Amino acid sequence: MISFRARRLQELRLSARTVRLMMDITELKGHQQLQARLAKQFLRAFRLAALVRGVESANRIEGVAVQSGRLLPLLLYRVKPNNQSEIETLGFCRALNESISAKTSGFEITPRYLQMLHDTILGGIPGAGEWRAEKSDEIQFGDDDTPGIMVESVSGAEVPGSVEELLRSYRDVQAEPDVHPLLATAVLVFDFLCLHPFYRGNLRMMHLVALLGLWLNGFTVGQYVSLGRWFERTRTACSSAVRLSSEGWRQGRHDLDPWLEYFFGVLRAAYLEFEMCVQRTKSHRLALTGLVETGIEVFPGAFRVRQLQESCPGILPLVISRTLRELKARGVIRRIGPGSYIVQNSQGLLQSKLLTLQPYITGY
């Protein structure tokens, strides 16, 4: 919308860091295609893990929680949802699958399609799939106790036309040879956030808009790595980037650089995470161990084996038990009760991946 007006993207001067990030992502995109072939036997596990983690993280950011032990059976359609949180969890899973599915040639993101996704997420409750009708200048990151970001957005009456303009501008700029599709997609996501066109669920919708834009331009890492998990891990950095870049957005005087550096940093981190996972597949046993280690990362403190099994869909319980024994023997985790463990060495193996990737998303 506003960020696309007056040929802003065509004439935008990018910082050296932003250009470097875009070049890295484009190169990593090529690596991913080769790596996906090399690790073909593990792709199903990667996809399932990315789906589960993406649903969990995106819902948790907006305060939607599912009782322990219910998430995986719910997503695998083994149990039926029994409350609104579970309905929305299953709905987001369906919308996420829709967003990362292969699209037919000529597919376009339309306002009606976004409304359909929003209705799917909220399970058809009153207001689902409808544009917000009231004035709203606050973007909420996290729970109700977390201060939101004030953005001078548009009125409720302006939302339908603004969304139409945003998507039309995005389609038009895609045909411009001097605008990189990564840049166009990043700005699409940012302007969508500033519009926050729905009365709730805008952060989950932002996740889907990002996946759609990236997927349609051939950047498919979100199929194998949860971008939602990266958004959750970097919630503070995301909030800061939006706050800095949204100053003066309504008047078209905003600075896109903070948001671009954040968004491209997250995307590069996701590609690097996928590379690391694929490297571990060179040894079948090491690959499975790596998937279990990644599952342990999600727990801030103590965890139970049952929770870890839910966090590692597709991995046999025998493999999880073996990995836990090995990590315990090396002092990385400690047993604190029957079926319960806690990470003992925060600088150890289980944290190495996050520590390695952290500079790419917080180094600005």
Contacts of 181 (CB under 8 A, 6+ apart): 174, 217, 218
Q: 279 pLDDT band (50/70/90 cuts)?
A: confident
**What's the pLDDT score for residue 223?**
86
CA distance 104 to 39: 26
The pLDDT, as a whole number, for residue 287 is: 62
What digits encode the pLDDT tens for the residues 133-178?
888 877 766 555 556 777 888 888 999 999 999 999 999 998 888 8
265, 289: one domain: no
Q: Is residue 147 domain-resident?
A: yes
- Residue 358 within any structural domain of the chain: no
Q: What is the pLDDT of residue 134?
A: 87
Q: Does residue 132 have a pLDDT over 80?
A: yes
Structure-token pair, residue 93: 């899973």
pLDDT at 348 over 70: no
Asked whether residue 38 carries a pLDDT value surpassing 70, the answer given is: no
Query: Do 324 and 334 have their domain in common?
Result: yes
Q: Among 255, 282, 309, which residue terminates a domain?
A: 282
Out of 232, 259, 282, a domain closes at 282
Q: 265 and 337, same structural domain?
A: no
Q: What are the residues whose beta carbons fall under 8 Å from the beta carbon of 189, sequence distance 6 or more?
A: 206, 209, 210, 213, 263
User: CATH code at 157?
Assistant: 1.10.3290.10
Residue 356 maps to a domain: no
Quick one: 220 and 297 in the same domain?
no
Structural domain contains residue 363: no
32 and 73 inside one domain: yes
Is pLDDT above 50 for 364? no
The pLDDT of 78-96, averaged and rounded, is 89
CA nearest neighbour of 77 among 86, 68, 64, 67: 86
Residue 115 has which token pair?
A: 């409304």
CA distance 243 to 238: 9
Answer yes or no: is 359 within a domain: no
> For helices 235-246 and 257-280, what crossing angle results, to 10°?
150
Return the pLDDT at 264: 95
Residue 303 shares a structural domain with residue 277: no
Out of 148-162, 288-302, 321-335, pick the least confident. 288-302
Q: Which of 2-11, 83-92, 262-271 has the lowest mean pLDDT?
A: 2-11
Record the tokens describing residue 146, joined without a space: 């977390």
Percent of the chain with pLDDT over 90: 30
User: What is the pTM (predicted TM-score) of this model?
Assistant: 0.75
Instruction: Mark whether 99 and 248 lie in a shared domain.
Output: yes
Interacting residues of 128 by C-beta distance below 8 A, sequence separation 6+: 118, 119, 121, 122
Task: Indicate the Cα dihedral angle 57, 304, 319, 328, nearest 10°.
Answer: 110
Domain span at residue 56? Answer: 2-282
> CA-CA distance, 321 to 230, in Å (whole number)?
27
Collect all residues with Cβ–Cβ distance below 8 Å to 271 and sequence separation of at least 6. Answer: 25, 28, 29, 31, 32, 221, 225
Q: Which of 232, 219, 197, 174 is nearest to 53 (CA)?
A: 232
Residue 129 in any domain: the answer is yes
Same-domain pairing of 160 and 19: yes
**Domains held by the chain: number:** 2
- 139 φ/ψ angles, rounded to the nearest 5 degrees: -100, 120
Same domain, yes or no, for 180 and 163? Answer: yes
Using alpha carbons, select from 241, 185, 179 the residue that is nearest to residue 210: 185
Confidence check: pLDDT of 358 > 50: no
Q: Are 199 and 222 in a shared domain?
A: yes
Give per-residue pLDDT as tens, 94-117. Answer: 888 877 665 555 688 999 999 999
- Domain match, 82 and 48 both: yes
Domain containing residue 321: CATH number: 1.10.10.10
Note whether 177 and 222 are same-domain residues.
Answer: yes
Picking from 260, 282, 304, the residue at the C-terminal end of a domain is 282
